[in-house]
Amino acid sequence: MNRERTSKRLKTIEGHVRGIERMVDEGAYCIDIIRQIQATQAALNKVSQMVLEEHMHSCVITAVRGNDADERERVLAEIAEVYQAATKV
């Protein structure tokens, strides 16, 4: 995983969350707050996508190419769980 790039994105998101908190404290227009929340959620989704892609290109590939059938099943089940959790929103 490109930890530096991921960390930088997360710090940016952290700044956005602080900005949303300020907006709430200052009584900003509700729709403006919601738009900022949606933008922050989209940014988190992007980070999640980046981490998942890296996982698929490293751990999943290793498991699929390996000889351990249990490990393959475990890794594939993890991917299914992550997908299932993402669609519960």
pLDDT at 42: 96
pLDDT at 69 exceeding the cut of 70: yes
User: What's the rounded mean pLDDT across residues 52-74?
Assistant: 90
d(CA 89, CA 17): 20
- Reported confidence tier of residue 87, pLDDT bands at 50, 70, 90: confident
Q: Indicate the pTM of the whole model.
A: 0.80
Q: What are the Cα distances from residue 13, in Å, to 25, 27, 53, 55, 72?
A: 18, 21, 20, 21, 34
Contact between 75 and 59 under an 8 Å Cβ cutoff? The reply is yes
What is the DSSP-derived secondary structure letter of residue 88? Answer: T
pLDDT at 44 exceeding the cut of 90: yes
In the structure encoding, which two tokens stand for residue 67, read together?
Answer: 């000889």
d(CA 62, CA 56): 9
CA-wise closest residue to 36 among 9, 11, 18: 18
- What percentage of the chain carries pLDDT values higher than 90? 66
Q: What is the CATH number of domain 3-86?
A: 1.20.58.1000
Average pLDDT, the chain: 92
pLDDT at 2: 85
